[in-house]
Amino acid sequence: MPNYTLKINGELKSFSADEDTPLLWVLRDELNLVGTKFGCGIAQCGACTIHLNGIAMRSCQLKVSELDSEEITTIEGLSKEGDHPLQEAWKEVDVPQCGYCQAGQIMTAASFLKDNPSPSQEEIRQAMHGNLCRCASYNRIEKAVAIAAKKMS
The domain that holds 94 is classified in CATH as: 1.10.150.120
Contact criterion met (CB below 8 Å) for 146 and 113: no
What is the per-residue pLDDT for 127?
98
The domain that holds 15 is classified in CATH as: 3.10.20.30
Distances (CA, A) of 146 to 19, 62, 70, 138: 40, 29, 29, 12
pTM, entire model? 0.96
Domain match, 7 and 73 both:
yes
Question: Which tens digit of pLDDT belongs to each residue from 35-57?
Answer: 999 999 999 999 999 999 999 99
Question: Which tens digit of pLDDT belongs to each residue from 76-105?
Answer: 999 999 999 999 999 999 998 899 999 999
Last residue of a domain, one of 30, 52, 77: 77
What is the per-residue pLDDT for 26?
97
Question: Which tens digit of pLDDT belongs to each residue from 107-138?
Answer: 999 999 999 999 999 999 999 999 999 999 99
Longest dimension (CA), the chain: 48
Q: Is the pLDDT of residue 62 over 90?
A: yes
Domain match, 26 and 67 both:
yes
Distances (CA, A) of 108 to 18, 81, 83, 93, 128: 28, 19, 16, 18, 7
What is the per-residue pLDDT for 94?
96
Phi, psi angle pair for 47, to nearest 5°? -60, -25
Number of domains in the chain: 2
Full residue range of the structural domain in which residue 111 is found: 85-152
Q: Is the pLDDT of residue 69 over 90?
A: no
| Mean pLDDT computed over 4-8 | 96
What is the per-residue pLDDT for 131?
97
Contact criterion met (CB below 8 Å) for 38 and 100: no
Distances (CA, A) of 57 to 8, 113, 121: 14, 15, 22
What is the per-residue pLDDT for 68?
86
